[in-house]
Amino acid sequence: MSINIVKPSILPGFMELTPSNQILFNKMMDTIRRNYEKFGFLPIDTPLIEKSEVLLAKGGGETEKQIYKVVKGDADMSLRFDLTVPLARYVAQHYSELSFPYRRYHIGKVYRGERNQKGRFREFYQADIDIIGNGNLDIINDAEIPSVIYSTFKDLGFDSFTIRINNRKVLSGFFASLGIDDSTNVLRSVDKLEKIGIDKVKAEIKEFGISDENIDKILDFISIRGTNDETIEKLKALNIQNEKFLEGLDELDKVVHYIRIFGVPEKNFALDLTIARGLDYYTGTVYETKLNDYPSIGSVCSGGRYDDLATYYTSQKLPGVGISIGLTRLFYQLTEAEIIKSSDYSLTEVMVIPMEGYMDYAIEASRNLRDAGIFTQVYFEGGKLGKKFNYADKLNIPYVILIGQEEAEQRKYSFRDMKSGEQKNLTFDEVIKCLR
């Protein structure tokens, strides 16, 4: 029988890793998951395919253009494009089964048919947390979120990162105090400050018909810098008598107070009045997180407070606050920039290599090692010793145990450190001691 061979390949824009990179990726994912769980967030896992009418209830815009449709029978189905819409649907659907405040984390793949571009993925992991209140949700939750970000990125091995925080009410209240009611366009320009610089922002704002006096005030406002306390003081000193502004300022003040109690060091968070984020969704606190040594990576963790999660699925008022880490993109950027490297990682700690005729002893040894909690592989195949060492080396397995006549008779193990090449004759207990 002759078989037509199909070229083995995957679709463009999809990430697939070799084993050592996958180990590293999973390690990151586990670290994020553990941190989320440490703060009392509960897992969910929703279907990747949902009814299109549910996923696209909000409708319109970029989302609809990027969606992957799924075809089987008559149902109109799509792949989810984020984890927030499924959360909204989930909370509305399971409302009576949930306890509020409902804290959930979700780490899963989402799909967007983006333009094919280096570093952009069409299938990627998001790692989200959200805290959903029933009717209301205390502002302290907004202060806890940065402490989860802090704890997570510390555990991921970062030290120099800044969680930038703002409050949408402060922004919109300020604009309202200038008589600018629809600040959407202005905010969009302000959001680009870091990218395009102050002069271009100024020119853009001018086009929206804003007076020179107000433009100066806006620029003064977004130029406010200083320590977190100084920023709060400067905002207070503006003496703006707009209710929304004052509400936002009070929230910002409380968030700063509690962030400190939560133990986030001063150097890892900064009030930043230029942060605006997804303009039609967030209503209060907003976050962005930057790695200070790698500014070009952009925000690695963003989110904020919203007034109502599930408007399209229930009349219950469900305010919430949450963040998202774009894990696939983050991993890609960290490995591209060689900030993390896979070469040191192995799950398997020991490879047992039997000499000819000593397979039974090798298998017994592997059982004992696993019983002691050591991840162990036995090399079952024939061949030369060098090839077997080479195999362990390629898989980054740090230790090899050789078992032959001498080892079997003396009940001792030739224990080899693959990095140093050092080889010792040890009892089982000594081996375990070395591995711990």
Within residues 353-412, the interface with a copy of itself by CB under 8 A covers: 359-360, 363-364, 367, 370, 375-378, 380-382, 391, 394-395
Site for a copy of itself, residues 115 to 144, rule: CB under 8 A: 123, 133, 136-138, 140-141, 144
Contact range with a copy of itself by CB under 8 A, out of 61-69, 156-164, 186-194, 271-279 = 61-69
| 237 lies in the site for a copy of itself, by CB under 8 A | no
Q: What secondary structure letter does DSSP report for 276?
A: -
AA identity, residue 270: A
Closest listed residue to residue 206, CA positions, set 170, 194, 214, 173: 214
In the complex, the smallest distance separating the C-beta of residue 319 from a copy of itself, rounded to whole angstroms, is: 12
Site for a copy of itself, residues 256 to 275, rule: CB under 8 A: 258, 261-263
Closest listed residue to residue 129, CA positions, set 188, 48, 43, 61: 43
Question: In angstroms, rounded to a whole number, what is the distance separating the alpha carbons of residues 253 and 435?
Answer: 50
Stretch (H or E) spanning 140: helix 140-155
The only residue of 32, 83, 92, 321 in contact with a copy of itself, by rule CB under 8 A:
92
> If binding means CB under 8 A, how many residues of this protein chain bind a copy of itself?
99
Question: In angstroms, rounded to a whole number, what is the distance separating the alpha carbons of residues 55 and 266?
Answer: 40
In the complex, the smallest distance separating the C-beta of residue 184 from a copy of itself, rounded to whole angstroms, is: 16
Contact range with a copy of itself by CB under 8 A, out of 177-185, 219-227, 346-354, 426-434 = 346-354
Structure tokens at 319: 């305010």
* 37 versus 159: smaller Cβ distance to a copy of itself: 37
In the complex, the smallest distance separating the C-beta of residue 293 from a copy of itself, rounded to whole angstroms, is: 26
Angle, CA of 49, 53 and 54, to the nearest 5°: 60
The only residue of 177, 184, 185, 348 in contact with a copy of itself, by rule CB under 8 A:
348
Site for a copy of itself, residues 16 to 45, rule: CB under 8 A: 16-19, 22-23, 25-26, 37-40, 42-45
Site for a copy of itself, residues 41 to 60, rule: CB under 8 A: 42-51, 53-54, 57
3-state secondary structure of 156: coil
| 419 lies in the site for a copy of itself, by CB under 8 A | no
* 7 versus 384: smaller Cβ distance to a copy of itself: 7
Q: What secondary structure letter does DSSP report for 361?
A: H
Site for a copy of itself, residues 306 to 325, rule: CB under 8 A: 310-315
CA dihedral angle for residue 107, residue 109, residue 113, residue 118, rounded to 10 degrees: 80
The answer to whether 123 and 15 are in contact (CB under 8 A) is yes
Beta-bridge partners for 289: 163
